[in-house]
Amino acid sequence: GWARAVRGLLLDVSGVLYDSGADGGVPIAGSAEAVRRIKASGLKLRLCTNETQATRENFVKKLRGMGFDVSVAEVTAPAPAACHILKERGLRPHLLVHDDLVPEFAEIDKTNPNCVVLGDAAENFTYANLNEAFRLLIGMEKPVLLSLGRGRYYKETDGLKLDVGAYMKALEYACDVQAEVVGKPSKRFFESALAEMGVPPEQAIMIGDDIVNDVGGAQRCGMRALQVRTGKYRPSDENHPEVKPDAYVNNLAEAVDIILQQL
Task: Tell the CATH topology of 81-181.
Answer: Rossmann fold (3.40.50)
Contact assessment for residue 253 and residue 35, using Cβ atoms and an 8 Å cutoff? no
Put residue 67 in one of left, alpha, beta given phi > 0 → left and psi -120 to 50 → alpha: left
Query: Domain locations in the chain?
Result: 8-50+184-261, 81-181
How many Å apart are CA 123 and CA 37, to the nearest integer?
37
| pLDDT of the residue at 242 | 96
| pLDDT of the residue at 24 | 79
- Neighbour-count burial of 41, counting CB atoms closer than 10 A to its CB (0-12 exposed, 13-18 middle, 19+ buried): middle
| pLDDT of the residue at 157 | 86
| pLDDT of the residue at 21 | 80
Q: What is the pLDDT of residues 147-191, one digit of tens each?
A: 999 999 988 888 999 999 999 999 999 999 999 999 999 999 999
How many Å apart are CA 69 and CA 77, to the nearest integer?
18
Identical fold for domains 8-50+184-261 and 81-181, yes or no, is yes
Establish how many alpha carbons lie within 13 A of residue 61's alpha carbon, considering only the half-sphere containing its beta carbon: 5
Task: Tell the CATH topology of 8-50+184-261.
Answer: Rossmann fold (3.40.50)
The number of angstroms, rounded, from the C-alpha of 57 to the middle of its chain's C-alpha atoms is: 16
| pLDDT of the residue at 257 | 97
How many Å apart are CA 22 and CA 158, to the nearest integer?
9
Each residue's pLDDT, cut to its tens digit, for the chain (263 residues) gives 899 999 999 999 999 999 988 777 899 999 999 999 999 999 999 999 999 999 999 999 999 999 999 999 999 999 999 999 999 999 999 999 999 999 999 999 999 999 999 999 999 999 999 999 999 999 999 999 999 999 999 888 889 999 999 999 999 999 999 999 999 999 999 999 999 999 999 999 999 999 999 999 999 999 999 999 999 999 999 999 999 999 999 999 999 999 999 98
